[in-house]
Structure 1
Amino acid sequence: MELANFEALFGEPKVESSTPVHPFLFQFHAPDPSQLRVDVTDFFSTSFEAIRSIQQLDDMRDETGVGGSWSDFLEYLVTSIKFGDVKLVFEGSESARLIAQKSKGMPRISVSLHRLVGTAANEAMARLSLHIYKSYKSNHKLLVEEQEGRHQLTKMLSAEQEKNKQLQQQLDELLYSNRRKSQKTHDKLTSATSSAAALYDSSDKQSDQNPSPMKAPNRVVPAHRRSKVRGVLLQDTEDD
């Protein structure tokens, strides 16, 4: 990360003061790649400012004790400001200190501030107000684009769901038609099998009830049972 890519950071610090004060807002921003500016104001009567050059930021890096590269230090600075604990500590009526700590036990980022008066204070309030508005517009644009993208995705999802629903209906109809054809084929086969079985049973029963007559074999009648030839047997007799 470089200061050229440094996006403005905003927040409300916890104020540590011996007297009641108004709420404050702060911003860290880089007006150019060579410096980092810090504005703190209550938009009422008290405003502070700090400007740090690249060299001063490098010295802050050494004082903080954050290891790693220059980019690592800037990323730690951003994380501490965005997600850490940020405090505004008053040091008299003309100065204050902005302290940011990523988490308890981690190195602290400390920036000394000097009080602004007159036109300089008004300019600090104007800068902060303008930058907050620009940030709002940018975030709002991103939100609108995200919502539009989500709307388009929702439409595509609905279209896909409707397409899948139609395909499912067609598949169900096809499966139903195939089941009907299969059932008809099964019924025909079952009917044909039943008819064949019934026909076979009927033929078998008829065979049992009406056996085919068998021809009796020609039998030889015993001699003693044969019919005697009726009539007179003529026989020559000798004269006594």
Structure 2
Amino acid sequence: MAGGSAASVLNDLRKAALLSRPLTVGVAIASTAIANVPGMADAYNNWESIHSRLDTANKSFARNLGDKGKEGWIAADHDAFVDAVERYQEALESLRGYVKNIAGIVDELGDAYRAYWLALARVVAVLLAGVAIAAAMLATPYAAAGYARLQALGQLATQVIAVATSMLGKVVSAVAGGMSVYFAGKALVQMYNLQPTGDAKVDFSKAVIDTTGLPPFQQPPATPPGRPPAPPPSGGFEWREPKVGKPEPYHP
């Protein structure tokens, strides 16, 4: 819109302002409302595409994670894995909500600018017709009346442009204010509560790995051709796959 009809509207306003000096103020006011409306439309489509992908591909991925995690676990590992998958899904839904709101805000701004320039295009169409008639009067005995009409048309058009631009500014301010409250407000509050507390709090400057009771490192044995690599030997410890029970001792 800004690269097409907005530019043509401004050009027509500048041409009319050559005959009606008060209209130069209206041109200056309208120039403040130039925006990349096609870019807003592209941004809206991109955000909607991200929202759609978060709703389809990631849900399928999370479902596959849950299916793969049904077997092959020891003790409470499975519960921890399920909890992690659920937390991931919750965070994903929250992210989808943010993306959807951003898309809506961008679309709302684009609609406001499109409506603004379409309204100005209609005003300019009427203005040019009136200016043409008044300019033609300058070559007649009614030149004074024609000049007066040119000035009146310029003042009237400037007032209309000022009102429309003011309304557009209120819409943009309202949308920007809502965005700052929805995003910056929450983010600002949550920013001060990102550090883990309680049992989750870890001082990484003093964190150590307790290796007490763990077997010392040994080179793994040579792997025969065609067989998977074997873990290194460890005295008193037997390597087993998850959930593979050891046979009971034979009692004759």
Q: Same fold (TM over 0.5)?
A: no
Higher helix proportion, which one?
Answer: 2
TM-score computed with the length of structure 1 as normaliser: 0.30
Select the structure of larger CA radius of gyration.
Answer: 1
